[in-house]
């Protein structure tokens, strides 16, 4: 965790969460991020707490609050949509439009095999409002390098929205079909207006090893 620390101050930490590690313990147990947060106390009596969530297979910027004051302030910022999050994704297929806004409500369905998020059919509005802005940064080999900015914070929002465009994320076995690759979704950057009288805090996560080849094929330069 110390090697993955991106930013630190009196109220907040930002770390580079590794792909494949859930933030919470699941029903079956196993390793999780919270088990390792004690290493990030930096002299405080308690470890930091999660200010928001990332999916198990998503890597990148994850914000932690230090002490109650930090967690409380961060919680309000996330709840009010004042934290700007930028994701990078590699998708199978290229969206028809190079940029745009996806406004498709999402709802959770559960069946015998588990649960997933789905978009509401036309005319039905039972799901939660979900909005994602996106733009294509590059293409290659029938893949697209996409920058996505979620304006709401729904579960699996970017994954479902990009799949609805006909461009599911590479490695997304739940919404994009069978794949042997890991999920190519990175929480690339985050901007947190934590202190009212100071500039917002901006942080950026490095590109994980498993995404580098696909990004380069779409024009990214290291």
Tell me the catalytic residues: 55
Tokens standing for residue 186: 């990175």
CA–CA separation, 28 and 50 (whole Å): 21
CA–CA separation, 194 and 172 (whole Å): 33
CA atoms within 13 A on the CB side of 125: 3
């Amino acid at each position: 965790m110390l090697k993955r620390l991106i930013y630190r101050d009196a109220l907040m930490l930002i770390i580079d969460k590794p792909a494949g590690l859930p933030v919470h313990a699941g029903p079956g147990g196993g390793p999780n991020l919270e088990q390792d947060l004690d290493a990030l106390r930096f002299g405080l009596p308690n470890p930091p707490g999660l200010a928001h969530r990332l999916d198990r297979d998503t890597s990148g910027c994850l914000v932690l609050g230090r002490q109650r004051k930090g967690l409380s302030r961060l919680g309000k910022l996330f709840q009010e949509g004042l934290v700007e999050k930028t994701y990078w994704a590699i998708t199978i297929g290229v969206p028809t439009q190079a940029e745009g806004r996806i406004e498709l409500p999402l709802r959770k369905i559960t069946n015998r095999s588990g649960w997933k998020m789905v978009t509401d059919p036309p005319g039905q509005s039972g799901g939660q409002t979900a909005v994602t802005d996106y733009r294509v940064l590059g293409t290659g080999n029938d893949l697209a390098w996409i920058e996505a900015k979620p304006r709401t914070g729904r579960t699996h929002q970017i994954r479902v929205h990009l799949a609805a465009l006909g461009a599911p994320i590479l490695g997304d076995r739940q919404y994009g079909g069978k794949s042997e690759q890991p999920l190519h979704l990175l929480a690339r950057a985050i901007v947190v207006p934590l202190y009212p009288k100071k500039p917002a805090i901006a942080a950026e996560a490095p590109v994980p090893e498993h995404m580098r080849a696909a990004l380069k094929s779409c024009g990214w330069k290291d």
